[in-house]
Structure 1
Amino acid sequence: MKIDTIYSKILLYGFLAALFFSSTFAINKWLNVEMLGHWYWTASLRYIYVFLLINIIILIKNGSYSLLRTYKCYFQNILFWNMAGGIGFGIFYLCLCYAASYSDGWVLASTWQTTILFTPVVLFLLKERIKLHGVLYLIVMFIGVLLINNYAFKTIDDAFFNSIIPILIAAFSYPLGNTLCKFACEGKYEKISIHKYGISKDPLNQILIMVLGALPLIFIVGFIVNPTQPTIYQLKYIFIIAILTGVIATYFLYKARKIANKDGTALAFADGTQSIESPLALFWGFILFNEQLPNLSGWIGLILLTLGMGLFYLKNIKRQNNSIQNQKNY
């Protein structure tokens, strides 16, 4: 397959993945505000549905042995997985759904991109070596986020604490919890290594064990919050969200990565396509729910955010090309 054909297909599947991922930002706000549903059910029901779906998929795809080994791994390292899953899945999505009651979808999606800034912080806290290249692009992205949310930073009020702060907590929790899972799967934590269970290389098993770790925290928060009963709309449409994000969007992203095969440059490009979630979330919110368009500084921030992401990934692609070329010369 020609290089341009490969990249065209990656771009197509990556765009479709981002389209479905970004749709959930607007749907969450619609469920919480328009349908008067409590934010807690928007978060918890998604994981309950994903839990059921993942169990069925693993059972069909890998068999009962693989499923039982996942549960055995979880219960034998329950404290670690409750921490990793509780942070990376539980706190992450609880905060995101809470903020959806106070923020437009495009603001939510844009501010969420700060998770890219928090990733090197997480690696530093976990005592990993950090390469400083690309910091300039991260700063450009962060400035973009500040401009997008300029109205929120004019005054420190309830809207600020109920929207921006929870999103930032979610943006930090997601890489922290999932990096803990990644390191455990790679055997970096000897006492918590899951290699002996034979499930460390299958993303489905990893998703299940992280969901298992998140459920205790989700149930505890439900007891504390004591929400009203979920609406019929939440019961129906959150199942749709689970399918959109957990099945369709993930399928398209995995399809793009599969086309990239073992080409590191193409793989970086496939992951980079997800940077268009912010403008897509703006599209969903405006078309479906008539959300307010950003002001001038918001548009500039959106451009800077997208530009920073694009340059960040192009820099990685260029570096990988130079590395490949040096290996050939050697």
Structure 2
Amino acid sequence: MNKTAFRAVLLALASALFFTLTYVLNRRAAVAGGHWAWTASLRYLITLPILAGLVGLRGGARPVLSAMRASPGPWLAWSGIGFVLFYVCLSYAADSGPSWLVAAGFQLTVVAGMVLAPLLYDDERGRIPPLAFGIGLVTVGGVVLMQLGRIGSGLQSDGWIALGCVLVSAFAYPFGNRRMLLHLEREGRSLSALQRVFGMTLASMPLWLVVAVWGFVRSGAPSIEQVWLSGGVAVSAGVIATVLFFEATGRVRNDPTALGAVEAMQGSELLFATLMGVALLDEPWPAGWTLVGGVVVLLGLAGLAAVSARPRSLPRP
């Protein structure tokens, strides 16, 4: 049994649980009239001092700053894609469509990382693992089934805009993360998950300040409620979930099958969102196609975990 891969999958599942809160809190901010630019930028503006404190307590800021000074271009580029493009699109989608649609669309991350692999790597990692990819497609099919009852007669124009934005977000997140891992590998630098999240958050600040200025020009200062909601997202998703996810991907960065499986665990967010709705919001228990789709997603995630945990020979890091 590949214990490293299995533990990485468990970490990814834990990260997905904390990521799930993003959709509900962002949609609540949008319904309350909060501008999407503030929703996006506040998460990272609040996250940065928290991460700086955590990294400082562990004495790990110096290696990050040294790496950023040595090669500022990659840090700016990959944080711009993996953090800024990812979350701007996700926040704009929350402003345009319901949270269930945003959560469902983002589950394309189940296969996004595997599809991107040939574009990123020139070694064994550039191969799309056929079994994991096939199970990933089945999992995506389960996500689609879960949404059939909600789509009803079709989506309005705002819904299609939201779906397009969230699909961009689903590819931007694994792309930025994988490119940063690859950059550090080529430079021979070893940074922890917390250090990488801190460094990418810091590198993304120039763009986040631009987004914040845009939000101020368009809607003025954010409300206290939006600040609190963004603070909740910052702690749950920006710190806890992101660090767990980066730790998981870092552990299996040289194993294409396990890396794809770890990224695919984000598909569990839709299951977590459904269960939270039943347990906390008195929403009805899933039935019909929604229940069938949920079972398919659950089986798909279990299959990916099993495939990733199989022992195999891996390329040396």
Q: Which residue of 2 aligns with 1:38?
A: 35
Q: Which residue of 1 aligns with 2:18?
A: 20
Query: Aligned letter for 2:37?
Result: Y
Query: Aligned letter for 1:108?
Result: V
Q: Which residue of 1 aligns with 2:252?
A: none
| Residue 56 (1) aligns with residue 23 (2) | no
Q: Aligned equivalents of 1:283 and 1:126: distance in 2?
A: 36
| Residue 315 (1) aligns with residue 307 (2) | yes
Q: Which residue of 1 aligns with 2:138?
A: 140
How many residues are aligned here? 301
Q: 1:311 to 1:39 in 2, by over 3 A?
A: same
Identity of aligned residues (%): 28
Greater alpha carbon shift after TM alignment, 281-290 vs 56-65: 281-290
Greater alpha carbon shift after TM alignment, 200-209 vs 172-181: 200-209
Matches within 5 A, 1:183-202: 183-187=182-186, 193=187, 195=188, 200-202=190-192
Query: Is the 1:17–1:253 contact (alpha carbons within 8 Å) kept by the matching residues of 2?
Result: yes
Query: Is the 2:93–2:162 contact (alpha carbons within 8 Å) kept by the matching residues of 1?
Result: yes
Deviation at 1:86, TM superposition (A): 0.8
Q: Which residue of 2 aligns with 1:160?
A: 159
Q: 1:162 to 1:286 in 2, by over 3 A?
A: farther
* Structure 2, gaps ≥5 residues long: 2-6, 250-256
Deviation at 1:183, TM superposition (A): 0.4
Deviation at 1:174, TM superposition (A): 0.6
The alignment's TM-score, normalised by the length of structure 1, stands at 0.74
Deviation at 1:181, TM superposition (A): 0.3
1:227 counterpart SS class? helix
Q: Aligned equivalents of 2:90 and 2:299: distance in 1?
A: 24
Matches within 5 A, 1:1-330: 17-33=15-31, 35-62=32-59, 65-66=62-63, 68-73=65-70, 76-78=71-73, 80-128=74-122, 129-134=126-131, 135-150=133-148, 152=151, 155=154, 157-187=156-186, 193=187, 195=188, 200-224=190-214, 226-228=217-219, 229-249=221-241, 275-285=267-277, 296-318=288-310, 320=311, 323=312
Query: Aligned letter for 2:42?
Result: L
Q: Aligned equivalents of 2:272 and 2:164: distance in 1?
A: 22
Q: Aligned equivalents of 1:266 and 1:91: distance in 2?
A: 25
Deviation at 1:289, TM superposition (A): 5.6
Q: Aligned equivalents of 2:9 and 2:81: distance in 1?
A: 31
Deviations 1:140-174 (A, max 9, x none): 12222333344659646413333211111100111
2:309 counterpart SS class? helix
Q: 1:294 to 1:271 in 2, by over 3 A?
A: same
Q: Aligned equivalents of 1:213 and 1:309: distance in 2?
A: 33
Structure index of larger Rg = 1
* Structure 1, gaps ≥5 residues long: 4-8, 188-192, 258-264, 325-330
Query: Aligned letter for 1:299?
Result: L
Deviations 1:234-263 (A, max 9, x none): 212322222223444467779999xxxxxx
Q: 1:154 to 1:176 in 2, by over 3 A?
A: farther
Deviation at 1:219, TM superposition (A): 3.2
Deviations 1:245-297 (A, max 9, x none): 3444467779999xxxxxxx999998876543211112334555667876733
